[in-house]
Structures are given as structure tokens and as C-alpha cells.
Homo-oligomer: A and B are copies of this chain.
Amino acid sequence: MKLDQATIKDLARELNVSSSTISRALKDYPGISDETKRKVREMAEKMNYRPNALARSLRKSQSFTIGVIIPEVVHFFFSTVISGIEEVAFSKGYNVILTQTNEKVSREKTSIDTMLANQIDGLLVSYSKETEDFEHFSRLLEKNFPIVFFDRVPKLENTLNVTVDDYQGAYAATQHLIQQGYRKIYHLAGPKYLSISTERARGYLAALEDYGIQHQPSWIIESPRGNENEAKDITTEVLKRAVPKPDAFFAHNDMAAVGAMMACRELGLKVPDQIGIVGFSDWQFCTMLEPSLSSVAQPGFQMGVRATELLLDMIDKKGNIEGPKNSIVLETELLIRKSSQKP
């Protein structure tokens, strides 16, 4: 069970040199003869030596591991972010330890605790929907612990964030609906305390304003959980009772958009003929649906990449008094498909 790996000491004993020599030879330090280095390397190969990362981390008090906190892996968007993160981290010799919070603050906190206990060098965070108090983050930030937030960013001063331009994405989506001739455009919004939600709502409203579309507060309907069933129920209600009757929906995510689509289908309303729909995130299934779902694509992989680059940068220049913190905002792309194009 325990695979008794050879240690530096074993190599030392075998070659009749000190463990310091082994250590230095393996790291190709100066002051060790080429001959010795060669012998050490050969023996290491022969004995199948693998360094003990724990011991190394303990000694150097740096673990070369970063922690990643995300709400849920099932979300297509987050899974692409993960790929981006791993890509950069691995290429720079860092390990990634990942946990999902399942949208629970409690899990978020314990995860951070165990990650810290494991001496992670930095943290990438997209916090849970439940998180309204950021004390468990600010506590770390005060001590200058490297954290980069992505997608969902906290209302804190002086944090490094990587987001997409939710405002712009929402604006473009809404603008597109308007240009297609839709007028009574309702918005299926996300939870109010998530920055991404409010940004998307802002963009939506701005577009309506800019195009002089008369609207009412009741056009924004919260669909906090953002899954298709919830959205379907809500949309059905709206389609039945709301005045004026909506002729389009801009949803804060694709699941909600699908919910709206399902509601329309059940009520015999044709998409896109009678009702236009645009979602957000460009999940895989968008192109599978009939009609295919227009959506605002977010560069998940890119987000992972940029966030990790930022974080590793922070970690590297530890001593360095932090320069100007440059948060990053990535562009979105509106993908126009059938669900929002009037024939």
C-alpha cells in the first residue's frame, strides 16, 4: 500500500555521498562536479526517485499549489474556466486544488480553511450565491494573501478581478432584440446581490433607454435559481398575465432562456416569430435546440487563463510592494441564432 519511494537519503547511502550533494546535484546547482551529477542522476533514474513535494513545500514554505473555488462544476461556463486555469498553472509548474461550493457559503469557508491548512500559495475565487459577507476574504486580503476573483467579484476595495463585460453583453443582446423589431422585452434576471446579475440588468435597461423603449420596472423579473423549471413557471405566469404582454425575453443565463422557450412552446407561442429569446453564457446545448438559442458567449477559457496569470504574477513578486492593481474585463460575443431573428 505504501509505495516506499526512494528518498534523497537512500540515494546518498547508495552513492556514499551526503544528502546535500544529492539535493544539489538533482537541482543542477553549481559546485557539484559533472561526474557526480551524472552518477546521481543515473542512480535517481535507477531507483525511480521521485521528490517528496510535501517535504519540499514545508522546507520552502511554498507549495506551488493554488486553490480554486467555484460554485459548481456542472456549469458549462465554469468547466471551461477550469480548463484555462489548469492550462496556465500546469505549464508554470503549479498544482491546482479545486472545490465546488454548491453555492453554499459554509462550504466556501471550510474549503478555504483546508486549502490554507494545505499551504496554498494563492486563491482563485468565484464565490457562492449565498455569499453576502466577504469577511472571510477580506481577512486574507488584509494580510496580502494573493487572491484573484473571477466572474463573480466582491464589493471590496483593491481586489484583483477578472470579469466579462456583462453590461456590454446584455446591452448587445437587448439591442439586437430591439433591432429585430421586438419591443416588449422582458428580462429574466439573476439574484440581485450578484454583480453579474446587476450588471446584466443595467446593460439591458441602458439599451431600452437608448432606443427610447418605454418600459416598466415589472419587466425585470427575478429568477434567482436560474434553472429551466423555475424560469418556465415564472415565464408562463408572465405570458398569461403581464400587461403589456412580452414579445421577447432576455435571460441572464441560458437555462432560464430555455425555460422561457419551453413555456412559449406549451402556450403555443412561436419562437422567434411571436417571441424572441436571447440567453447568456452560450452553453453547449444552444445549438442543439430548435430553434437554436441566441446567446451571449463568455470567454471562459480565457478568463481562466488571465486570472491564473494574474495570480501567479502576484505570487511571484511577493516581496514586491504591489503595483497598480489591474483588473481585467473580457469582451463577450453575441451569437445570433434562430431564437431571436424575426422571419
Interface size class, chain A:
35 or more
A284 to B285, CA, bound (A): 9
Report chain B residues within 8 Å CB of A116: 3, 5, 50
Report chain B residues within 8 Å CB of A82: 73, 100
Which of A32-40, A51-59, A207-215 contacts its partner?
Answer: A51-59
Report chain B residues within 8 Å CB of A74: 76, 79-80, 83, 284
* Known contacts A3-B140, A116-B50, A318-B1; A95 and B95 CB within 8 A of each other: no
| Residue of B whose beta carbon sits closest to that of A56 | B117
Which of the residues B54, B146, B314 comes within 8 Å of A119, measured between beta carbons? B54
Report chain B residues within 8 Å CB of A269: none
**A 128-171 to B, binary, CB cutoff 8 A, 1 in contact else 0:** 00000000000010011110000000000000000000000000
Residue ranges of A at the interface with B (Cβ–Cβ < 8 Å): 1-3, 5, 50-55, 57-58, 61, 63, 65, 72-74, 76, 79-80, 82-83, 86, 90, 95-100, 102, 110, 113-114, 116-119, 140, 143-146, 228, 258, 261-262, 265, 284-285, 287-290, 314-315, 318-319
- Provide a sorted-by-A list of 30 A–B residue pairs whose CB atoms are within 8 angstroms: A1-B144, A1-B146, A1-B319, A3-B144, A3-B145, A5-B116, A53-B114, A53-B117, A53-B119, A54-B58, A65-B118, A72-B79, A73-B79, A73-B82, A73-B83, A74-B80, A74-B83, A83-B100, A86-B99, A95-B97, A95-B118, A96-B97, A97-B97, A261-B288, A262-B288, A265-B290, A285-B285, A285-B288, A285-B289, A290-B290
